[in-house]
Amino acid sequence: MNVGPDLEADKIVAAIHAAFPTDRSPALIAALAERGGHPETDEMRDRVAGREWNAVEDSAYLASCPSPFVMGESCTIYYLPGLLCAALRELEGDLADRLVTDFLRPPGNRQDFETFRRRFSMLTDAQKRSTANFLRYCRDMRYSNPRLKARIDDSISRFWGV
């Protein structure tokens, strides 16, 4: 599937909002309240604590320091839809690159792939579809390198395509 008039950024953002709940579990609230780790982790958790993923400013998601990827796995998974939306709204930043080439890319190693699969195992088909559409949008609208486009297709076919 290629991006076209039916797969515009604002439509992908709307689909992400529809697919991902904003409810914060007690476990997430507790994880965000944990302190004593790295100062950058504490700072990022402070930026998002008490806020649902769709109420966090894009600037917090787009920040390099503190990075939104240092919150801890359960926190980062909850805030994933905000990360996707921020990256779509600010496609020139490096957040989209980090998501496409690292965080959302399934590893080739079998053991690492199992860890990756478990990390995202609670996502519904609609949430995976929204993530795949984010990847497709990046492939078609952001990147010209054929090898990177092929890597994105590989990510979609090995994990995100439902």
Residue 153 lies in a domain: yes
Question: Would 80 be classed as within a structural domain?
Answer: yes
Q: How many domains does the chain have?
A: 1
**How far, in Å, CA of 123 to CA of 126, rounded?**
8
Give the per-residue pLDDT at 5: 42
Quote the domain boundaries for residue 125.
Answer: 9-160
On whether residue 1 sits in a domain, the answer given is no
C-alpha 44, offset from chain centre = 16
Residues 6+ apart with CB under 8 A from 77: 119, 120, 122
Q: What is the distance between the alpha carbons of residues 118 and 137, in angstroms, rounded to a whole number? A: 25
**Within a domain: residue 86?**
yes
Evaluate whether residue 48 is within a structural domain: yes
pLDDT value of residue 7: 59
pLDDT at res. 149: 97
Each residue's pLDDT, cut to its tens digit, for the chain (162 residues) gives 444 444 589 999 999 999 999 999 888 888 888 887 788 888 998 888 889 999 999 999 998 878 888 888 888 999 999 999 999 998 778 999 999 999 999 999 999 999 999 999 999 999 999 999 999 999 999 999 999 999 999 999 999 987
Q: Residue 65 in 3-state DSSP?
A: coil
pLDDT attached to residue 32? 85
Is the CB of residue 22 less than 8 Å from the CB of residue 50? no
Residue 2 belongs to some domain of the structure: no
